[in-house]
Each structure stands twice: as structure tokens, then as C-alpha cells.
């Protein structure tokens, strides 16, 4: 059996588990937020997955199925309620891998550009000097511990800028510009990001460093040479490119015993996906709250609504962030929480901005019902939810609680 036949077989096996009971419909964020589009539920993805398998086996893939699978948030919430254990995130990952391997014509121009940029610049978007300003405000030095940002905070101002340009140009012109960016590199820079967003993300990174310093943790940083971890290569199904790319990143990271991450996506990809593809992976991976000394805080006396990032559920089941916030505030969770959390919509922001906005609105409304003080521990969640109103990053909140 060839590698491609194995992938097709996995697609058939996972998709055919669906018994069409519909339990997943009520929990899938893309279903409600797309105006109840059946193709955007776990069951729709399973049924379309089976159609993709049949088409490819019998003839060729003629259906345009990109939107069904690229819009899946990979939040795995459907898996929690599915009686037969259908993993719609896995089905979406398989179809994306098939598209990236054999049906590139079904690919979105944004995806092509991001993949090329990661390979060329070691970042989905080439970063400007202003994104590194936080480095000038911190103390670091030689250590066997690395503070690895994965560039996630730094990328948020560029995401916002792309969205602004899309609104200004309209979808058609925006896609022409994106397609040109693959051949004319200057277009891939997307103008200058907004100063307010740059300040906000630089400040959060400075606050994370301040929290670690005050907890007595010393560490090194990679500065201007820090590479992106390759998460979008994985998320968009470019598995062979991902394997090659992470070998280079790992060669840098393996100079350290411990790696401290600052966002759930990087934490998840290093801890779980890198290990799958790098057999001798030998680094201890942490999230920064693992190192914080709770005795340095005073209780804020506030009630806060905490948004669980999807990547602190599923694989990771990481409770460090909610534990630390509970030590400085009364943390209230919205109805959808823990392993049934509701995605912030951020993963759909680049490809499906309207759907992403609807998801984030729905989630924001669930949170604001509980408290005006909304807190999250992920740059993507923080950016996505704050399009609806004020949302605090965990580090920004914690710094204010230092005695």
C-alpha cells in the first residue's frame, strides 16, 4: 500500500464511523456561526470525507470541498460528544493533506503565500524590527533554559493588518495581491501593522518576562533569529514540509534542556506533534505559568471570566493557566468550558474572516454574561475575542497583581 493509499484508507475509516446521530451539531462552533451550514458540522465533514474518498477512488476529486475542511477549527469538541468517536478534526487534517499533496488547485491563495513565507522567512509573515522591541526591555543571558515565543504574539498585529487590507480592497483584489505576493516579495509584508497592536503585543511579552524574572527564572532568548515553530504547515496539511521544517527548528532548540513557551499553540505543537516526527526529541517543554511563584501575587478581589484556549484541552489538558488566575481572582467559567470549551474563532481569521467574527462574537457573549473582566491565555484568543470588546491577556492581568 502506498503512503497515499494509507491516507485514503484512514479517511474512509474515520469518516465511516459517523452514524449521523447529530449530537455534534449543538457543540460545533462553525455550525451555528455559519448560519447552520450542514457542511460545517462534524457530521457534514464526516459525510463529505466519505464523498472525497469515493470520488478519488472511483475517478478524481471534482468537488470543491476546501471550505468544509479548512474552516474546521480543529477544536475537537465534537469528539467529546460523539458516541462513535468520530474525530472531525482528524478528517479535516487528512483532506487538507490530500489537497496539499495532489489537488493544489483547490488551495486558497492565502495558504500558498503563508506556506512559502514560512519556508523562506521562517515566519508566516516577515516581521519588521518593531516586532522585536520587547527584547530591548528584558534581561536574558546564557542558560540551559530557553524562552521561546514561537513568534505568536508578534504575528497578531500582522493578522489584524491583513484583515484591514482585505476590508479595504475587497476579497477579489485582496486575493490578487496575495497571489502577487508569492512572486513579488514586497507584497508579502502587508504594509505597516498598527502601532496600538504592536505596543500591546510587545507589552505582553515584556510582562511575561517580568513575571519570570520576579519568580527567579533565568533564561536565554533567540532574538532576531527565533524561527516560527511551523504550526501552520501542520494545520494546513503540509506534513512533508512540516517534517523538514521542524528538523531545522529542533536543531536550534535542542541546545537547551528546557523550553518555556508563551502560547498554547506552540506548547501543543512542541509537546505532541514534534515528538511524533522527531524520534530523539529530548527537550522538556513548559508553559510559562509552570514557573510562576504564586507567593509574589496579591489577590485582585475581582471576578473574572476565563476563556479556555482549545489547545489547553484535548492533547494537553493543561490547567496551569486557570490555576494561577484562580489564585489572584475569583475565576468563573462560561457554560462552555474545559473539554467542551468554545473556540474564539481565531483559527478561521485568515481564511474565513466573517465566520471567524461570528464565532468570536458568540464566544464573547458567553463570557461577558459571566463578568466584564474577560481573561485568556493565548495571543490568538486574546486578539480574536477583543474584536468584540475588552479582553485581557493573562500576563497583563498577573503583572498588576504583583505585590
Tell me how far apart the 2 most distant CA atoms of the chain are, in Å: 67
232 is written with which cell numbers? 501552520
Among 7, 52, 61, 86, contact with ligand SF4 (rule: CB under 6 A) = 86
Check binding of 73 to ligand SF4 (CB under 6 A): yes
Name the helix (H) or strand (E) containing 322.
helix 320-326
Q: How many residues bind ligand SF4 (CB under 6 A)?
A: 28
Q: How far apart are CA 342 and CA 359, in angstroms?
A: 9
- Give exposure, 332-342, as e/b (b: 16+ Cβ within 10 Å): ebbebbeeebb
Judged by CB, which is closer to ligand SF4: 28, or 211? Answer: 28
Among 56, 61, 65, 75, contact with ligand SF4 (rule: CB under 6 A) = 75
Residue 304, strand partner residues: 331
CB 147 within 8 A of CB 212: yes
Check binding of 90 to ligand SF4 (CB under 6 A): no
Q: How distant is the alpha carbon of residue 402 from its chain centre?
A: 29
In this structure, the dihedral spanned by the alpha carbons of residues 161, 163, 164 and 165, taken in order and rounded to 10 degrees, is 90
Check binding of 150 to ligand SF4 (CB under 6 A): no
Check binding of 96 to ligand SF4 (CB under 6 A): no
Task: Using DSSP bridges, classify how beta strands 258-261 and 145-148 pair: parallel, antiparallel or unpaired.
Answer: parallel
368 is written with which cell numbers? 461577558
Judged by CB, which is closer to ligand SF4: 89, or 227? Answer: 89
Among 49, 89, 320, 334, contact with ligand SF4 (rule: CB under 6 A) = 89
Check binding of 46 to ligand SF4 (CB under 6 A): yes
Check binding of 249 to ligand SF4 (CB under 6 A): no
Among 4, 9, 19, 365, contact with ligand SF4 (rule: CB under 6 A) = 19
| Min separation Cβ 259 and ligand SF4, Å | 27
Nearest to 18 by CA among 36, 43, 38, 35: 43
Judged by CB, which is closer to ligand SF4: 49, or 227? Answer: 49
Check binding of 84 to ligand SF4 (CB under 6 A): yes
| Min separation Cβ 357 and ligand SF4, Å | 15
| Min separation Cβ 337 and ligand SF4, Å | 15
Among 82, 146, 322, 351, contact with ligand SF4 (rule: CB under 6 A) = 82
Task: Using DSSP bridges, classify how beta strands 284-287 and 258-261 pair: parallel, antiparallel or unpaired.
Answer: parallel
Check binding of 247 to ligand SF4 (CB under 6 A): no
Check binding of 28 to ligand SF4 (CB under 6 A): yes
Give the range of 12-20, 131-139, 213-221, 271-279 binding ligand SF4 by CB under 6 A. Answer: 12-20
Given the rule CB under 6 A, which residues bind ligand SF4? 18-24, 27-30, 42-43, 45-46, 72-78, 81-82, 84, 86, 88-89
Amino acid at each position: 500500500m502506498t503512503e497515499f493509499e494509507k491516507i485514503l484508507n484512514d479517511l474512509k475509516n474515520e469518516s465511516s464511523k459517523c452514524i449521523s446521530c447529530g449530537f455534534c451539531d449543538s457543540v460545533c462552533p462553525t455550525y451555528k456561526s455559519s448560519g447552520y451550514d450542514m457542511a460545517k458540522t462534524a457530521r457534514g465533514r464526516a459525510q463529505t470525507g466519505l464523498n472525497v474518498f469515493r470520488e478519488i477512488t472511483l475517478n478524481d476529486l471534482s468537488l470543491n470541498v476546501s471550505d468544509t475542511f479548512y474552516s474546521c477549527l480543529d477544536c475537537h469538541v465534537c469528539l467529546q460528544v460523539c458516541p462513535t468517536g468520530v474525530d472531525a478534526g482528524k478528517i479535516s487534517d487528512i483532506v487538507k493533506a490530500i489537497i496539499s499533496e495532489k489537488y493544489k488547485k483547490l488551495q486558497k491563495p492565502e495558504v500558498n503565500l503563508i506556506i512559502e513565507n514560512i519556508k523562506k522567512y521562517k515566519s508566516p509573515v516577515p516581521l519588521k524590527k518593531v516586532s522585536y522591541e520587547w527584547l530591548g526591555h528584558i534581561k536574558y543571558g546564557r542558560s540551559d533554559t530557553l524562552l521561546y515565543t514561537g513568534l505568536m504574539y508578534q504575528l497578531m498585529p500582522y493578522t489584524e493588518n491583513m484583515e484591514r487590507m482585505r476590508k479595504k480592497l475587497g476579497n477579489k483584489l485582496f486575493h490578487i495581491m496575495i497571489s502577487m505576493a508569492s512572486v513579488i516579495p514586497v507584497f508579502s509584508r502587508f504594509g505597516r501593522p498598527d502601532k496600538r497592536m504592536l505596543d500591546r503585543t510587545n507589552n505582553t511579552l515584556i510582562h511575561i518576562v517580568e513575571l519570570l524574572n520576579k519568580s527567579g527564572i533565568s533564561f536565554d532568548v533567540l532574538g532576531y533569529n527565533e524561527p516560527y515553530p511551523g504550526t501552520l504547515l501542520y494545520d494546513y496539511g503540509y506534513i512533508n514540509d512540516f517534517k523538514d521544517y521542524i528538523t531545522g527548528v529542533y536543531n536550534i532548540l535542542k541546545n537547551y534542556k528546557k523550553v518555556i513557551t508563551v502560547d498554547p499553540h506552540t506548547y501543543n505543537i512542541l509537546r505532541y506533534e514534534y515528538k511524533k516526527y522527531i524520534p530523539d526529541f529530548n527537550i522538556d517543554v513548559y508553559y510559562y505559568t509552570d514557573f510562576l511563584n504564586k507567593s509574589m501575587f496579591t489577590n485582585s478581589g475581582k471576578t473574572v471570566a476565563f476563556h479556555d484556549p482549545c489547545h489547553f484541552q484535548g492533547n494537553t489538558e493543561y490547567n496551569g493557566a486557570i490555576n494561577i488566575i484562580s489564585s489572584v481572582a475569583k475565576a468563573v467559567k462560561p457554560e462552555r468550558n474545559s473539554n467542551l470549551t468554545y473556540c474564539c474563532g481565531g483559527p478561521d481569521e485568515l481564511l474565513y474572516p466573517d465566520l471567524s467574527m461570528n464565532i468570536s462574537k458568540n464566544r464573547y457573549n458567553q463570557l461577558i454574561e459571566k463578568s466584564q473582566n474577560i481573561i485568556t491565555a493565548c495571543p490568538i484568543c486574546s486578539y480574536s475575542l477583543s474584536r468584540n470588546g475588552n479582553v485581557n491577556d493573562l500576563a497583563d492581568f498577573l503583572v498588576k497583581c504583583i505585590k
